[in-house]
Structure 1
Amino acid sequence: MKLKKGKILVFAFALILFNCSNEKAIEENNSGIDPTKYYQELNISYGEDNDQKFDLYLPANRTASTKVMVLVHGGGWTSGDKSDMNPIKDLLRQDFPDLAIVNINYRLADDNNKPYPMQIDDITSIINFLNDNKVKYSISNTLGFIGTSAGAHLSLLWSYAFDANSNVNMVCSIVGPTNFTDPAYLSNTNPALQGLLNLYGENATTSFLEEVSPYHQAKTNSPPTILFYGGKDPLIPTTQGTDMRDKLQDLGVVNEFTLYPNAGHGWIGIELLDTWQKLKVFTNNHL
């Protein structure tokens, strides 16, 4: 069959366009990040604020099934840095060499910038960023969270109330606040503690305090949760842990709870070893 010259030119031009488009698509999907090799990238920006950065650690030989652990630092919602979580990051890299790790910073609260919803919005932005780049990074949507103190509160709250796609498989709270309507908080006489609670409103309504409390946001489909608390913590009453445990049990949510009777707002030594051993087993079983 013979083609006229004009048709040949049109066909050739279309073929060139197809090839260019195909090459462009290949180029866009080829990030230059070799999934067979370990990769890390520090201070990835996910917003315009200087605090909106995270560190990414990707294991060698990762695939689209590689799971992601998100680390959320503490600091009373007003301070702290992702570097505070480096010891946990190092343990995860040692004991979970096939896990991707995301160690995050978020905007810190002050008199003009309340922690909620600002910090929850930052976590959502990070998760959206990871989802948008999961092909580039060779990772899955499956998430775990480990948070300490205020970061534990944020981890629980996001996992219980803002994980719209149910991608969180497990969440860990180490000395995290869980219930701002707890009488131990509402009637406390500790000025330092009250200063932190006032970040969520000096005259906050009960409905608002419930909105920002993981205890009130937990549901029957909340992810498996592991909780660690200190019996002599000056900032986190024991009821923040025991009540959360009881609520999860009532809902039928898989959970584990550990109270170290003589520990404060953190611990070392044998208690720390116990925490890591329990967290390792829980992560293996649920993430």
Structure 2
Amino acid sequence: MKIYKSVVACIYLALVVLSCSENDATNPLFYNLGYQEEMNVSYGNHSDQKFDIYLPENRTPNTKVLILVHGGGWTAGDKSDMNNLKDLIKQDFPEIAIVNINYRLADQNNPPYPMQINDISSVVNFLKSHKNTYNISENYGFIGISAGAHLSLLWSYAFDFDNNTNMVCSIVGPTDFTDPAYVNSEIPGFEELLDFYGVESDTEYLEEISPYHQATTSAPPTILFYGGVDPLIPISQGTHMRDKLNELNIINQYTLYPTSGHGWVGLELLDTWTKLKTFTQTHL
């Protein structure tokens, strides 16, 4: 009997060692589960195709991921612009992994679409292919600001073919380029925006790049923040998006700060984070 038990114990130990060797990335015996961060991880060949990743301690294959997408009118900006938000998330959500991305910036020869949507797809595919290395899940949330909010909404509504997005946040993001408040206005930069997109006023194309027109019943829970005196984004961009999500029975939350512009500070900023924090806790 003692010999039998010894043989069984040896077989069990061998199986454990074999299993560990085949799954090093997710086994705590082989993987450092302390806090880890990697800066400027390349997900493509272009110099702008980089992201920073912040991995929490004690992470598991169920660890959820927040992807941050900076603004800058599709032609400027940098992931460092999101560092304050990143620090807030690290403080209040120490169990969540954070991916702060750069993407290729548009110019006269390289329109934003589909280039920047393709970059988000590349980031997500990279994370999926390295999920065992990073010890993270395929459950993602997006937080975008301005142009980054537009990209976050558009990708989550129309290009997340595997439905991995659990939530998406738009802070002053454009949602509908066919909105008369855009088309019939003299909003600074709107004509330049259309020039960068490589179109004049082709309705079909404008609908293709508009989250409002791409949202379906499979859209993820969405939280929206807008300013009432924003010189760049008409109020209707937020209210129409809210109404469309309501029509589709998509969980959503909409906040308008009547006296704020294209961004805010003070009590409004505190309110934004309080609401976004609760929404993230509920839906991510």
The alignment's TM-score, normalised by the length of structure 1, stands at: 0.89
Match in the other structure for 2:90: 93
CA distance in 2, matches of 1:73, 1:91: 15
Q: CA deviation at 1:192?
A: 2.5
Contact 2:144 2:152 (C-alpha < 8 Å) held by counterparts: yes
Percent identity, aligned pairs only, is 64
Match in the other structure for 2:11: none
Instruction: Indicate the structure (1 or 2) with the bigger Cα radius of gyration.
Output: 1
TM-superposition CA deviations, 1:195-231 (whole Å, max 9, x none):
1233223424211111100000001110000000000
Match in the other structure for 2:148: 151
Q: CA deviation at 1:260?
A: 0.3
TM-superposition CA deviations, 1:43-81 (whole Å, max 9, x none):
000011000000000000000000000000000000000
Contact 1:33 1:39 (C-alpha < 8 Å) held by counterparts: no
Match in the other structure for 1:172: 169
Helix, strand or coil for the counterpart of 1:117?
helix
2:46 matched to 1:49?
yes
Q: Which amino acid aligns with 2:154?
A: L
Match in the other structure for 2:112: 115
Q: Which amino acid aligns with 1:258?
A: T
Match in the other structure for 2:259: 262
2:250 matched to 1:253?
yes
2:213 matched to 1:216?
yes
CA distance in 2, matches of 1:272, 1:60: 28
Runs of 4 or more consecutive aligned structure 1 residues displaced over 3 Å after TM superposition: 21-35
> Aligned in 2, Cα 1:31/1:198: closer, same or farther, shift over 3 Å?
farther
Contact 1:33 1:136 (C-alpha < 8 Å) held by counterparts: no
Q: CA deviation at 1:90?
A: 0.3
2:62 matched to 1:65?
yes
Helix, strand or coil for the counterpart of 1:102?
strand
Q: CA deviation at 1:251?
A: 0.5
Contact 1:227 1:258 (C-alpha < 8 Å) held by counterparts: yes
Contact 1:54 1:103 (C-alpha < 8 Å) held by counterparts: yes
The alignment's TM-score, normalised by the length of structure 2, stands at: 0.90
Match in the other structure for 1:185: 182
Structure 1 gap segments, 5+ residues each: 1-20
Q: CA deviation at 1:261?
A: 0.4
Structure 2 gap segments, 5+ residues each: 1-17
Helix, strand or coil for the counterpart of 2:279?
helix
Q: CA deviation at 1:32?
A: 10
CA distance in 1, matches of 2:260, 2:31: 44
Q: CA deviation at 1:241?
A: 0.3
Match in the other structure for 2:235: 238
2:36 matched to 1:39?
yes
Match in the other structure for 2:197: 200
> Aligned in 2, Cα 1:35/1:156: closer, same or farther, shift over 3 Å?
farther
CA distance in 1, matches of 2:23, 2:199: 54
Q: Which amino acid aligns with 1:252?
A: N
Question: Residue 161 of structure 1 is aligned with which of 158, 164, 169?
Answer: 158
Q: CA deviation at 1:36?
A: 2.2
CA distance in 2, matches of 1:25, 1:226: 41
Q: CA deviation at 1:92?
A: 0.3
> How many residues in Structure 1 have an aligned counterpart in Structure 2?
267
Q: CA deviation at 1:273?
A: 0.1
CA distance in 1, matches of 2:99, 2:110: 24
Match in the other structure for 2:101: 104
TM-superposition CA deviations, 1:149-201 (whole Å, max 9, x none):
00000000000000011010000000000000000111112342321233223
Q: Which amino acid aligns with 1:221?
A: S
CA distance in 1, matches of 2:242, 2:253: 8
Helix, strand or coil for the counterpart of 1:194?
helix
Q: Which amino acid aligns with 1:155?
A: S
Contact 2:188 2:231 (C-alpha < 8 Å) held by counterparts: no
